[in-house]
Amino acid sequence: MASANRIAFLGMTLAAAVGLAACGGSSGGAASGGAASGGGSAPPAAATASSSSASAGAAPGTMFKVAQVSGLGSVLVDARGHTVYILTSDGHHNVPCNDASGCTKLWPDLPLPDGASAATAGPGVKASLLKAKKSSDGETYPTYNGWLMYGYAGDSGPTQGNGQGIKSFGGTWYALNPAGTPVTTMASTSPSSSSGYNYG
């Protein structure tokens, strides 16, 4: 009798172990794209997260598109959705903004990654106006209608226009409209007083 009970107990233990192993296998299959219950939805979510991550990590100067920015209307933004600016003085194109003057710490340039020869024209951008310029520092920079483009450290996220109209580093900073013309209207709030970055 004791022997029969022992055999029954061993049989139940073996069955439980097989059941647990099967559950473990299902879990692994779902994570790796198996057809187990729930496995069909996990891979697309992972792919989406990976895709978003790649987009967030893209170099800002690789792509430009047009977006609506409060107080400015339709203007160019970079791959992250941040407003891009140009520096002009008395109608002159491209007043110098470089590392030596400290300008690019506040107004970061948007070089193309090594090996890239052009940026992508996204929605609203005229591809014919989007070019590239090789600089003496060996970097290649995208231009729009001949303008070198920069970001602004005072814009903490997409579609902000805090750099609009700021006078610093020998000129005035403006956003660009889709036609490649500087937007000379001021943003609804004064960027000089709100941003704390006004180096005249």
- Mean pLDDT score across all residues of the chain: 75
27 vs 127, more confident: 127
Query: 60 by DSSP, 3-state: which?
Result: helix
Task: Establish if 200 belongs to a structural domain.
Answer: no
Instruction: Report whether 83 contacts 150 (CB < 8 A).
Output: no
Position 57 scores a pLDDT of: 60
CA distance 76 to 119: 13
Residues 47, 108 share a domain: no
Position 138 scores a pLDDT of: 85
Strands 63-69 and 73-77: antiparallel
Position 147 scores a pLDDT of: 97
Residues 93, 22 share a domain: no
CA distance 1 to 83: 83
Quote the percentage of the chain above a pLDDT of 90: 56
Give 85-129 pLDDT, tens digit per residue.
999 998 788 999 999 999 999 999 999 998 888 999 999 999 999
Residues 122, 28 share a domain: no
Position 115 scores a pLDDT of: 87
Residues 181, 114 share a domain: yes
* Total count of domains within the chain: 2
Res. 2: pLDDT tops 90? no
Residues 48, 68 share a domain: no
Query: 189 by DSSP, 3-state: which?
Result: coil
Task: Establish if 120 belongs to a structural domain.
Answer: yes
Residues 89, 26 share a domain: no
Answer with the one of 11, 31, 55 that is the final residue of a domain. Answer: 55
Parent domain of 108: 60-195
Res. 37: pLDDT tops 90? no
> For residue 138, what are its two tokens?
């060996």
CA distance 188 to 182: 17
Residues 70, 25 share a domain: no
Q: How confident is the model at residue 46 (pLDDT cuts 50, 70, 90)?
A: very low
Position 17 scores a pLDDT of: 41
Res. 160: pLDDT tops 50? yes
User: pTM for the full model?
Assistant: 0.65
Q: How confident is the model at residue 152 (pLDDT cuts 50, 70, 90)?
A: very high
